[in-house]
Amino acid sequence: MTINEIAGLAGVSRATVSRYLNQGYVSEEKRERIRQVIDQTGYQPSSQAQTLRTRKTKLIGVIIPKIDSYTVSCMVQGISPALAKSGYQLLLANAEDDEQKELDHLKLFREDHVDGVVLIGTIFTRKHFQVLKDYQVPVVILGQRLSVCSCVYQADREAAKELAGRLLRKSRCLCYAGVTLRDQAVGMDRREGFMEACLEAGRTVEAGQMMEVSFHVDSGRRAAADFLARYPEMDGLLCATDDIAVGAILYLKQQGKRIPEDIQVAGFGDTLMAQIVEPNLTTVHYHYKTSGEEAARLLVGLLEEETKVRRELKMGYEIMERGSTL
């Protein structure tokens, strides 16, 4: 079935069918006739031909740091339907926590002519900034605030400050298990929020009360052990992620510590593990799925409005108070 045959069956010109397929103006009467013919014949326009005409692939590249992340999966759950609603398909690329692979995926998507990219990034190097600055299609950063691109990010600093402030009300010795400061959001912003809360509470923070660990449960175990060795009087532990906090709780309970009577523990993310561990973990709930939806809408807006104006959106949060804190 060709456009000429569709035109003949509908009793319109080839140009009218072409305008219909490319969302141009067609009178309501002719539009209905064309639609009926297409429905009856099952005609599907060539995607390659449409791409050549419109220079649009209707493909969006989504780069994620790792595939086995609860946070990332929630974001993708928001991105995918929001893109589909606007007629775009998602191409997923897993960087496997490798900064170079992230750059490789960006270059690959640029060569494959996607219409835009959503990058769920963690660590941004000088190479990232250079690639993003010169990128030929719109990019939206999800989860970090970056000056070179539109972005959707979490209120990490504010959330950490509020949660630390709550712990400080009933903790004399509060420690903090964070992650690498190369990660601006989870690493730097959450630590700075912790330090601001301590400063406002008139608490002195020693270097030994803060530690950088990895994102895994085992690192939470090790962090709790190290803190207890340094500060036997520790009665509060704020962790940069739920996984770290869960690991800390498991270790502290093995050492005979009561949670929260002896040591309060809190985290960030409101993951499934936070709701399963005993006692249930007090944590920060971020609207990850909604932030994915917002990132997709922001990107579609940049594509369809054909504007290069940088935009950013900071998401809200909720503190979920559960049994691991007083």
Q: Does the pLDDT value for residue 60 go beyond 70?
A: yes
pLDDT, tens only, 220-250:
999 999 999 999 999 999 999 999 999 999 9
Over residues 29-56, the mean pLDDT reads 72
Q: Give the pLDDT confidence score for residue 55 in this predicted structure.
A: 58
Q: Give the pLDDT confidence score for residue 52 in this predicted structure.
A: 41
Q: How far apart are CA 172 and CA 239, in angstroms?
A: 17
Q: Give the pLDDT confidence score for residue 45 in this predicted structure.
A: 66
Over residues 91-98, the mean pLDDT reads 95
Q: Does the pLDDT value for residue 49 go beyond 70?
A: no
| 134 vs 160, more confident | 160
Terminus-to-terminus CA distance in the chain, angstroms? Answer: 70
Over residues 150-178, the mean pLDDT reads 98
- 53 — pLDDT class (breaks 50, 70, 90): very low
Kindly report which listed range (40-44, 48-52, 106-110) carries the lowest average pLDDT score.
Answer: 48-52
Q: What amino acid is encoded at 143 in this protein?
A: G
What mean pLDDT value characterizes the chain? 93
Which secondary structure element, helix H or strand E, spans residue 115, and what is its range? none
Residues 6+ apart with CB under 8 A from 249: 220, 259, 265, 277, 279, 281, 324
Which residues in 95-201 belong to E strands, given as ranges? Answer: 116-119, 139-142, 150-154, 174-178
- 48 — pLDDT class (breaks 50, 70, 90): very low
Q: Does the pLDDT value for residue 83 go beyond 70?
A: yes
| 309 vs 103, more confident | 103
Q: Give the pLDDT confidence score for residue 196 in this predicted structure.
A: 98
Instruction: Compute CA distances 240 → 120, 163, 296, whole Å.
Output: 18, 11, 27
Q: How far apart are CA 247 and CA 191, in angstroms?
A: 19
Give the single-character DSSP code of 280: P
Q: Give the pLDDT confidence score for residue 22 in this predicted structure.
A: 75
- 18 — pLDDT class (breaks 50, 70, 90): confident
The structure tokens listed for 225 are 């052990």
Q: Give the pLDDT confidence score for residue 283 in this predicted structure.
A: 98
pLDDT, tens only, 268-297:
999 999 999 999 999 999 999 999 999 999
Q: Does the pLDDT value for residue 198 go beyond 80?
A: yes
CB 120 within 8 A of CB 66: no
Q: What amino acid is encoded at 66 in this protein?
A: K
pTM for this predicted structure = 0.83
CB 314 within 8 A of CB 290: no
Q: Which residue has the tokens 């690991």?
A: 247
Q: Give the pLDDT confidence score for residue 43 in this predicted structure.
A: 77
Q: Is 103 helix (H, G, I), strand (E, B) or coil?
A: helix
